[in-house]
Every structure is written in structure tokens, then in C-alpha cells.
Amino acid sequence: MAPYSSSASISATLEMLESANFLNVVKQQKAGAPNPKMLFDIETVSMDGKPVQCSGGLSLTPQRTMDSVTETDLIIIPGFLFNILLALPLLMPVSKWLANLYDKGATIATICTGAFVAAQAGILDDKQATTHWYYAKEFKRRFPAVTLMDQLTVTDDDGLICSGGASAATDMLMYLVRKFGSVDIAAECSKKLLVDSCQRSQLPYMQYSFKRNHEDREIAAVQNWLDKHFEQEIVFDQLAKQFNFGQRNFIRRFKLATGETPNQYLQNLRIERAKYFLETTNTSLERVTYQVGYEDSNSFRRLFKNRVGLSPADYRKKFQV
């Protein structure tokens, strides 16, 4: 536990692991074991052992201080929702503690933006990790040595386990039950708690963020034009001339300002608009394809699934209002 942490991720962790303990005891009792054992011996800790004010105003009381734990098999860092950047400087002692115990052989698991705390310790350098897709760009900027797999909900690289957004914590907790317990206990948890036991992708949940906080006013004007005309047939050579750019200079300045080529930017713009139509209307895919600037619905269906991780029809079923 730490200031600004998500109380939901803490309580979900405790309840999942306690459920695994209970179901494991039941399994042993049915098998006639005289002294059933728990899978997890669970303790909660904070930096100073005092109650922690979590996000949303809930205060949670830990059982021990962080420094009193000098050896353990597993540490789970909670998520911090939208507070991670505010909380991160305060969590440097936690990061150092994690690095120390990781060196002693502990497995470190992080929920959502808790990956920032592990990355701050340096232990994720040259390893795969994931975090909430919304913070992926900031994570990459701060920790370029980490291989961020932000499309995944769970990663495991050399005893460092990370999960994506809040609901992805369930994926990771089920993974931990399988890893430290057994496949059959994980399956029982899945059935009894009504949660999926398979890993998912964050791709369907991602919303593309179009970079506009740059100082190139001419490129900003091009972006504004694309916002209004993305459904048209667009030839970038002609667009460059329209805004008084040379072709090479246009591509160079556009990528410098937005981080993408004009073609990549336009594709993302069209995909996001298609998502909106699928979420809010019953318009046919053929019509949606035309509305976002494409002519062949089969080609667009393949492009959409490749970028979003779901077919347009499955995306509509999942997210339609």
C-alpha cells in the first residue's frame, strides 16, 4: 500500500488470493489431507506501517512496515489509477525496496500503473512489461530501456510480472494462482468468481491520442483540415502544395510535430472515427467504410482487426452504446 494507490486493486488482490486459499483447502480436504495448507500467506505493508489514504478517500491499514519485510516470494504492487505521476516521486523508497528484494529472488508483480514503480527501480530495464494503455507514451518516454508491450494485459519476464488496466488485474491474479498454485485451482477460481481465466488484449480498449501540443502552426492547420476532410480521397503531394509545403519538408515536419507520417496519422484518424460510428450507430459496415474514406469493406475489415484486435462486428457487439 502507498499514498494514492487504488483501493480496488488492493481489495481485489486480497479477495482473489484468499479465494484461491479457500478453494485449495477444500480440494485438500476432499482428498483426505490431514493438515490442509494455504497457497498464499498474505500480508499487507506500507512504507511506514501507518494507514494509507487511497484514491477515492478510502483509508486502509497495513499489517507491517515495508522495511520489516526482508525476504519474501512475491510482492504485488497495486495500481494508482490516474494518480501515478503525482505519486511516483513519493514512491522512490518503494522502488529501492523492490530492487533489493528482487535481487534476493522475490517475484515482483505490478497492477496497472504500478509498473511505473518497478520501472523507477531499474529492474524492468531490458525486459518486457505492460501498463495501462493510456500511460504507454509517458512510460516509454520515462523508461526507454523497458520493452513495453502495451497491447498485452499480462507480461512475465524473469520474475517481473506486469498487468494492464484495472480489469487486467484479474488476468494477472489468475496467472499468479496458476503460477504459484495450480491450473485446477485457477480454473476453480474462474468458475466460482465468474471471471475469465484467459489473457486478453488491450487493443480494443485503446483510444488513439492525436498529438496537438506542438508549436508548428502550419502542421496544426493541416491536422485541423484532416479532421474535417478525412473521408475524402487524400493525395499527400497535393495536400502539401495546398499548404505551401515541399513534399519532403511536409513529411519531415509532420512527423516531427505529430510523431507519425501523414499516412499513419490519417489511418489512425479514420480508425477512431470508424470506432465512433460502430459504437453509436447501426450503420452497416459498408456504409461506415465509405464514411471514413475507404471503398473496399473487406480490406477495411482486415485493417480494422489488425489495428484494433477485433473485427468491426465484434467491436460493435462489445462497445455499442
* Per-residue model confidence as pLDDT tens digits over 175-188: 899 888 888 888 88
Mean predicted confidence (pLDDT) in 220-241: 93
Tell me the whole-structure pTM to 2 decimals: 0.70
pLDDT exceeds 80 at position 114 = yes
Comparing 165 with 207, the larger pLDDT belongs to: 165
According to the model, what pLDDT value does residue 184 have?
83
Mean predicted confidence (pLDDT) in 81-93: 93
DSSP 151: T
Q: How far apart are the first and last CA of the chain?
A: 36
Q: Among 66-70, 205-209, 244-248, where is mean pLDDT lowest?
A: 205-209
> Coil, strand, or helix at residue 199?
coil
pLDDT exceeds 80 at position 198 = no
d(CA 311, CA 321): 17
d(CA 141, CA 157): 21
The per-residue pLDDT of the chain, averaged, comes to 89
User: Are the CB atoms for 212 and 167 separated by under 8 Å?
Assistant: no
> Coil, strand, or helix at residue 155?
strand
3-state secondary structure 88-112: HHHHHHHHHHHHHHHHCCCEEEECH
d(CA 84, CA 272): 27
SS3 content of the chain, % helix, strand, coil (to 5): 55, 10, 35
According to the model, what pLDDT value does residue 209 have?
67
Most confident of 55-64, 150-159, 168-177, 250-259: 250-259
pLDDT exceeds 70 at position 321 = no
**85 pLDDT band (50/70/90 cuts)?**
very high
pLDDT exceeds 70 at position 197 = no
Nearest to 6 by CA among 110, 89, 80: 80
pLDDT exceeds 80 at position 15 = yes
d(CA 223, CA 216): 11
d(CA 287, CA 261): 27
- Per DSSP, the chain holds a count of helices (H) and strands (E) of 14, 10
**How far, in whole angstroms, is CA 193 from its chain's centroid?**
22
d(CA 115, CA 288): 38
* One-letter amino acid of 206: M
* Per-residue model confidence as pLDDT tens digits over 234-288: 999 999 999 999 989 999 999 999 988 999 999 989 998 998 899 888 999 999 9
Mean predicted confidence (pLDDT) in 57-81: 93
The domains located in the chain, with CATH, are: 7-205 (3.40.50.880), 217-319 (1.10.10.60)
Nearest to 6 by CA among 120, 134, 111: 111
Cβ neighbours of residue 81 under 8 Å, at least 6 residues apart? 4, 6, 55, 112, 113, 166
Most confident of 25-29, 32-36, 75-79, 280-284: 75-79
User: Are the CB atoms for 129 and 94 separated by under 8 Å?
Assistant: no
Comparing 167 with 186, the larger pLDDT belongs to: 186
> Coil, strand, or helix at residue 179?
helix
Comparing 112 with 150, the larger pLDDT belongs to: 112
d(CA 240, CA 246): 6
